[in-house]
Amino acid sequence: MKKEQLLNIAQEFGSPVYVYDAYKIESQYKRLTAAFSNVKNLKINYAAKALSNISVLKFLKNLGSGLDTVSIQEVQLGLVAGFKAQNIIFTPNGVSLEEIEEVAELGVQINIDNLSILEQFGSKHPDIPVCIRINPHVMAGGNTNISVGHIDSKFGISIHQIPHLLRIVENTNMHINGIHMHTGSDILDIDVFLYASEILFETAKNFRNLKFIDFGSGFKVPYKKGDIETNIEELGKKLSSRFNEFCGNYGKELTLAFEPGKFLVSEAGIFLAKVNVVKQTTSTVFAQVDSGFNHLIRPMLYGSQHEIANISNPDGRERFYSVVGYICETDTFANNRRISEINEGDILTFKNAGAYCFTMASNYNSRYRPAEVLWYNNEAHLIRKRETFNDLIKNQEVIEFDNKKVVN
C-alpha cells in the first residue's frame, strides 16, 4: 500500500488503527499452494488465532482455505464466517473434555494432544474420528517462547508415549483419521523440519485408516530488510517428494495439511499510530505514540521487531528515536531506531502487524481497542469499529453502596 492511502485511512478512521492488505494475503496463500502443487491432496487450514476478524476469515474461506482453531469460540467465529464444520479442525490445549465434546457435536475435526483426554474421549465416543497431535521433540524454530516441539512443551503427546497411545486406541477401538505435529513458529532450518516430518511419517505407520497428515506450520516471514525467512519453495519441493513417496508405501493417497497463520497475514498487516509527544531526555529522544502494549504487545512479550517508518515525513533526515507508548508501564516498541525525523502529529507505521497483534490487544489502562480496516480492491473497508466507553462498561454490573460500616 502507498503512504498516501495509509495517511488517508488514518485520517478517515482515526488512530491507532490496524490495516490489512487483502492482496498480500491472497499472494501468500497462492505462494504456499504453488510450492506444494505436486501433492495431489493439499489442505491449507488458516490458523484463526493469528487474526480472527470475521471478514478476514471469510476472505480466506473464499480463497479455498480451511480453518485451524484452538477454542470453541474460534470454531463459532469460523461457522459465522461461512466455513463448513468439516473444513474446521479443532486443536486445543488444556481444555476440558466437555468443550471437546461440544465442538465434536458440531461436526468439526477433533485433534487431541494428551493421553488422558484421548482415553476419555475414545471411551465415550469411539466412532467419532480423531486426529492425534504428536510432540516430535524437535525445535525447528528459533525463539524458545514460540517453539512448542521441545521435550518440556505442554503441547502434544510425546513420541516416547506412542506405546501407551496405541494401547488406548486398541482398548477403546477409536477411529484415528489424522496425525499432526507443530514444532513452533519461525522455522529457520528446513532440514530440521524435514527430520521432524520423518518422525511423523514413522508414527503414521501405526495407523491404517488415516485420511491426512498435518505438519503444522510456523513458517518464518521477514521482519526487517535482509531478514531471513523460510524457503517455502525448497520446503515444498523436498516435503512433497517425501510425502508422495510415503503415500505410495502407505497404499493410498492421503491429504497433506498445513495450518499457517503468520505466513498468510503477518506481512499483510500495518499498524498506524499518531505521535503525541516528542520528548528529549538527557540521552534519548522519545517518540510517544497514541498506543502501547495494550494494542501491540509482541515487542514487549517476545522481543519481536517491527519495522517502523514515518510516513508523514518519509524523506526527512534520519534520527535515532526510542518509540514508546502512552501506557503507564514500560511499553517500548523500539530502542534507538533510525527513523525519518519525527514531529508531533506524524503518523508512524508498524509493519508485520497482521499476526498476533490485534488478537492479543486488551483494554489495559481502560484504553479502547482500535479499529480494523481491510484494504480490498483499492478501497478501505471498516471491518471492526473502534471501541467506545460503552464497550468498556457494557458487561459490568454496578451495585449500590450505603454509608454503613462494612461487616466481615
**The domain spanning residue 381 has which CATH number?**
2.40.37.10
127 burial type by CB count under 10 A (0-12 exposed, 13-18 middle, 19+ buried): exposed
Instruction: Give the pLDDT score at 223.
Output: 84
The whole-number pLDDT of residue 186 equals 67
Domain assignment of residue 393, yes or no: no
Task: Clarify whether residues 218 and 281 are in a common domain.
Answer: no
Element (H, E) at 273: strand 269-280
Same domain? 277 vs 240: no
Separation in Å, CA 130 to CA 117, 180, 256: 11, 11, 16
Give how many domains the chain has, as a whole number: 2
Q: Are residues 358 and 232 part of one domain?
A: no
251 and 348 fall within a common domain: no
Q: Which residue has the cell 488422558?
A: 116
- 118 shares a domain with 192: yes
- Please tell me the predicted confidence (pLDDT) of residue 146: 41
In this structure, the answer to whether residues 249 and 300 fall within a common structural domain is no
| 101 contact partners, CB below 8 Å, separation of at least 6 | 121, 124, 125
The domain of 231 spans 23-264
69 with 130: CB under 8 angstroms?
Answer: no
Cell 463448513, residue located: 84
Identify whether residues 253 and 303 lie together within a single domain.
Answer: no
List 272's β-bridge partners, or say none. 17, 349
Domain co-membership, 240 together with 283: no
Q: Is the peptide bond prior to 16 cis by the omega test (within 30 degrees of 0)?
A: yes
Q: SS3 for 162?
A: helix
DSSP string of 86-153, one letter each residue: GGEEE--SS--HHHHHHHHHTTPEEEE--HHHHHHHHHH-TTS-EEEEEE-S---SS-GGGB--STT-
110 φ/ψ angles, rounded to the nearest 5 degrees:
-95, 140
What pLDDT score was predicted for residue 149? 46
- What radius of gyration do the chain's Cα atoms show? 23
Q: Are residues 108 and 208 in the same domain?
A: yes
Q: Is the dihedral of CA 54, 56, 58, 64 positive or negative?
A: negative
CA end-to-end distance (rounded Å), the chain? 61
Hey, which bits of 314-355 come out as E strands? Answer: 318-324, 332-340, 347-350
Low-confidence residues of the chain, pLDDT below 50? Answer: 143-150
Dmax over Cα atoms in the chain, in whole Å? 80
- Are 110 and 183 found together in one domain? yes
Q: Which of 217, 183, 193 is nearest to 46 (CA)?
A: 217
149 and 256 share one domain: yes
328: exposed, middle or buried (Cβ count in 10 Å: 0-12, 13-18, 19+): exposed
For residue 4, being part of any structural domain is answered with no
Counting DSSP H helices and E strands in the chain, the numbers are 12, 18
Per-residue model confidence (pLDDT) at position 243: 98
* Domain C-terminal end among 239, 264, 289: 264
- Taking the C-alpha atoms of residue 311 and residue 74, their distance in angstroms, rounded to an integer, is 35
Q: Is residue 300 part of a domain?
A: yes
Q: What pLDDT shows up at residue 13?
A: 97
Within-domain flag for 193: yes
Give the Cβ contact number of residue 305 at 10 Å.
Answer: 16
The one catalytic residue among 131, 247, 328, 357:
328
For strands 130-135 and 176-181, give the pairing. Answer: parallel
Q: What angle do CA 243, 244, 248 make, to 5 degrees?
A: 115
Instruction: Look up 357 and say whether it is catalytic.
Output: no
On whether residue 294 sits in a domain, the answer given is: yes
Query: Is 145 a member of any domain?
Result: yes
Mark whether 299 and 367 lie in a shared domain. yes
What pTM, to 2 d.p., does this model score? 0.93
